[in-house]
Chain A
Amino acid sequence: MTTSIHVSAGQVAATLALVALAAAVSFWQKADLERDIGIAALRSFIQLTAIGYVIKLIFEADTIWLVFVLLTVMVVFGALTARSRAKKVPDAFWPLLIALATAGATTLGLVVALGVFEPTARYLVPVGGMVIGNAMTASAVALNRLGDEMADSRNKIEATLALGATAQEAAAPFVRRALRSGMITLVDSTKTTGLIFFPGTMVGMLLAGANPTDAVRLQLILLYALLGSVAIAGLVATTLAYRNFFTPAQQLREPQ
């Protein structure tokens, strides 16, 4: 499965033509996204270049501790990013941090324990990045939905609490819907994968000259691992976050 291709800086620069096209469309249609497109292109260049060097360093050092540090940084930044999309959830950072850490640790732990990947930087860094990134998106969507549901359903939740239901019982229908909305995107895209779109890993491997069978198998491993990780992240994030809407006396807190 060892393949290698060389991509020149000139080739990368040439594709900026498509970024210019995107900006032109935005300008022409007054979508007011030119500035954001510029920032996105610049940030992706800087961030990916920097992480490229970091990964190179970690691969060369080949110690598990550096992998651990990198994945921890990803989890923390992922939780911070997801928190900004879950503004209606009080103190969303901790549930998100624990959700991403649990999803990352469980998923990577399982694929290593099952003998799918060796516990080396070469596998753990890219797979960990994908797992944590997808877990971040899923838990951000789930908590965003949870915040909306809890805000819109205050009457219903309080009416259920008024019967002597626990916070968990009163919030259960909304937690369920939030979890579902966090997971549904990946479930749907997994259903259509190969028909409507080619996932990135497979495309990358094919471009790098790998055998299509290998590319497909690796892609399947990753898709299945991601399904597990978004389920864990969504479950942990919603299970911990809904509690922040209630007091210890099972009362609904006033909105902030």
Chain B
Amino acid sequence: MGPIGQDGLVLFELSEVSLIRGERRVLDSVSAGIPAGATAIVGPSGAGKSTLLRLLNRLADPDGGTISYRDRPLDSYDPLALRREVSLVPQLPALLEGTVESNLEFAAGLAGKQPDAARCLRLAGLDPGFAGRDVAKLSVGEQQRAMLARALVQEPAVLLLDEPTSALDHAARDAIEATLAELRRELEISVVLVSHDPDQARRLSDWVVRLEDGRAIESGPLAEVLA
């Protein structure tokens, strides 16, 4: 079965994608499709999951192979415009100095949008009262949510999430997962999620790409790959 999502749209198509760092082949001839909807990239640490995610909004380019997004080669997109449409939230929170609101305004300004800070904070599971808070005084979980809100003000079509709960305890993880499920219901947004935890992939995705040692060993509907 090909990578056809619920609405029949293939978002990303990777063909023989390789990436080499020093002596190491971090990605080795990866071919896989990522449909619209929610996809999880799973595999053990060091499998190349985060590297693959970074290729999808051109934070890095592959050394070999091709990637297409909505049937057009990824490198034919302006990288800045692409990153506003395909937004990546990194594994570790990395907000700019200042308040939560100034971070949201910065991101919205880049995308030419008027920031609806209260709505985006609520979608990310934060009380709108957080807008005026200094980011240096937030917990890691709150920072991670502020990162999510910052991505949402750009109104992206695709959210790339790199281990969004790896720095959090169980309670905070469950809360973020609930937020992500809620987001998928509320917004017309696709999610590509990197996770080392197959259970999380089961809870959050309906399509799975499994990587091991830089190779895509399996990809398909959740029920087939993580049976």
Contacts and interface: CB of A to CB of B under 8 A. Distances in A.
Interface in A163-221: 163-166, 169, 173
B224 to A, nearest CB: 31
A56 interface: no
Given A173-B97, A249-B61, A164 B92 contact: no
B90 A163 contact: no
Given A155-B90, A249-B61, A251-B58, A160 B96 contact: yes
A159 B111 CA distance: 15
B154 interface: yes
Main secondary structure of the interface of B (DSSP, over half): mixed
A66 B186 CA distance: 74
B76 to A, nearest CB: 12
A163 B147 CA distance: 10
Contact of A155 (B80, B83, B94, B111): B94
A81 interface: no
Given A162-B88, A163-B151, A156 B79 contact: no
A254 interface: yes
Contacts of A166: 80
B90 A251 contact: no
A161 interface: yes
A164 B58 contact: no
Given A162-B87, A163-B151, A249 B79 contact: yes
A163 B60 contact: no
B96 A173 contact: yes
A226 to B, nearest CB: 31
A165 B59 CA distance: 11
Contacts of A149: none
B21 A254 contact: yes
Interface string B122-154: 000000000000000000000000010011001
B59 A158 contact: yes
Interface in B50-82: 57-61, 75, 79-82
Nearest to A154: B94
Interface of B: 21, 57-61, 75, 79-84, 87-90, 92, 94-97, 106-107, 110-111, 147, 150-151, 154
